[in-house]
């Protein structure tokens, strides 16, 4: 099943590109888009949101390092993992200087690549720049906004509402007790009670649920809250 994480694979090697575009969804549930040239990668990366970019250095039209710089210049904040046949320290330094997050040498073991991708995506999700997928929404913690997929509808959140959603998201569908959620969002302030939390959850449901009386996204479970997976 797709997990909502979107990966852009930029590689002119048709076999490598096809293998990654096919295997990453099958093994990890990623939604993959392939690009055969640097120009296509820059266009796609600048127009669409991706949670991670896999970028080959040796592209036929534009060097991968320049593609990386161009994506960063377009405001792409997601991790960019460079793929290269070279194993030289200078190449690694050049890639990192161009804005790359990581550097993997070909040939690589698929299991190692997957582990690196998972680690970079998890780390990026903890930042405020990520786009997190919650139900039918794309959630931008830094902007405190939810954007409904397939429409231009934008929902504005308060700072506390955004903190609640982000913390629940990072728990991966696990139940968070009211006391733990209070401590995370408000700190251990004796003047803040569970009633305050329940009021914020009520307001959140008014914004994100089709029917706030029958929650499908922000669920109450075992004395706490969780996000539906």
Which residue range forms the structural domain that includes residue 161? 132-227
Summarize pLDDT for 195-213 with one digit per residue, the tens: 999 999 999 999 999 999 9
How many domains does the chain contain in total?
Answer: 2
Q: CATH number for the domain including 208?
A: 1.10.10.10
Q: CATH number for the domain including 26?
A: 3.40.50.2300
* Residues 18 and 110 grouped into a single domain: yes
Residue after which a domain boundary falls, among 85, 109, 125? 125
* Residues 107 and 10 grouped into a single domain: yes
The backbone region for 12, taken as left when phi is positive above 0, alpha when psi lies in -120 to 50, beta otherwise, is: alpha
Summarize pLDDT for 149-167 with one digit per residue, the tens: 878 789 999 999 999 999 9
* Residues 61 and 159 grouped into a single domain: no
Summarize pLDDT for 67-122 with one digit per residue, the tens: 999 999 999 999 999 998 766 666 666 777 788 999 898 889 999 999 999 999 99
Reference 66, options 30, 100, 33, 35; nearest CA is 100
The backbone region for 20, taken as left when phi is positive above 0, alpha when psi lies in -120 to 50, beta otherwise, is: alpha
* Residues 108 and 148 grouped into a single domain: no
- The answer as to whether 1 is a domain residue is no
For the whole prediction, is pTM greater than 0.85?
no
């Amino acid at each position: 099943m797709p997990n909502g994480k979107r990966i852009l694979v930029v590689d002119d090697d048709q076999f490598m590109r096809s293998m990654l575009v096919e295997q990453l969804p099958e093994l990890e549930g990623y939604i993959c888009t392939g690009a055969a040239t640097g120009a296509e990668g820059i266009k796609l990366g600048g127009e669409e949101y991706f949670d991670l970019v896999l970028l080959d250095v040796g592209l036929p039209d534009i060097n991968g390092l320049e593609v990386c710089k161009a994506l960063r210049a377009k405001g792409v904040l997601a991790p960019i993992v460079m793929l290269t046949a070279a194993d030289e320290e200078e190449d690694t330094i050049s890639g990192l200087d161009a804005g790359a997050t990581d550097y993997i040498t070909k040939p690589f073991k698929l299991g190692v690549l997957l582990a690196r991708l998972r680690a970079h995506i998890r780390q990026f999700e903890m930042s405020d720049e990520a786009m997190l997928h919650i139900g039918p929404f794309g959630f931008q913690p830094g902007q405190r906004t939810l954007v409904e997929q397939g429409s231009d509808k934008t929902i504005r959140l308060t700072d506390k509402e955004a903190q609640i959603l982000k913390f629940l998201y990072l728990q991966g569908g696990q139940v968070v007790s009211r006391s733990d959620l209070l401590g995370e969002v408000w700190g251990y302030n004796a003047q803040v009670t569970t009633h305050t939390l329940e009021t914020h959850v009520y307001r959140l449901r008014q914004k994100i649920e089709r029917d706030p009386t029958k929650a499908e996204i922000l669920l109450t479970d075992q004395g706490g809250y969780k996000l539906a997976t």
